Amino acid sequence: SAVISQKPSRDICQRGTSLTIQCQVDSQVTMMFWYRQQPGQSLTLIATANQGSEATYESGFVIDKFPISRPNLTFSTLTVSNMSPEDSSIYLCSVVRESSYNEQFFGPGTRLTVL
């Protein structure tokens, strides 16, 4: 398995501000993924964080709104910029271990509330 930690675990933010979420993995992984889970809804992939190159964003998500960093093989950050109440969600980091045949491991999530 993989041990994934996220910081902060939760936050309450004001409209128009930005929040950076950190994801730390206990071992090196090639790809890290950021998901959003809106209240009462399913998980939606935001982007794939690639080490050494720009993140790959899914349809409907843009770098200006969700800038991502991936400075090394165990760490990534997701920033939620210029927040609005619609950004209130749980943000989850996940990784795939090459040896685990597509098994995804998820972090505990960051619960964000925007007022």
Partner 1 sequence: GDSVTQMEGPVTLSEEAFLTINCTYTATGYPSLFWYVQYPGEGLQLLLKATKADDKGSNKGFEATYRKETTSFHLEKGSVQVSDSAVYFCALTYNTNAGKSTFGDGTTLTVKP
For partner 1, which stretch binds (CB under 8 A), given 19-27, 61-69, 79-87, 92-100?
92-100
Whether 32 and 94 have beta carbons less than 8 Å apart is answered as yes
x/- letters, 48..87, toward partner 1 (CB under 8 A):
x---------------------------------------
Question: Least CB distance from residue 15 to partner 1, whole Å?
Answer: 26
Residue 96 contacts partner 1 per CB under 8 A: yes
Range 33-52, binding partner 1 (CB under 8 A): 33, 41-45, 48
Question: Shortest CA distance to 62 belongs to which of 41, 42, 47?
Answer: 47
Nearer to partner 1, 44 or 113 (CB): 44
Whether 68 and 80 have beta carbons less than 8 Å apart is answered as no
Q: CA angle, corner 87, sides to 96 and 14, nearest 5?
A: 125
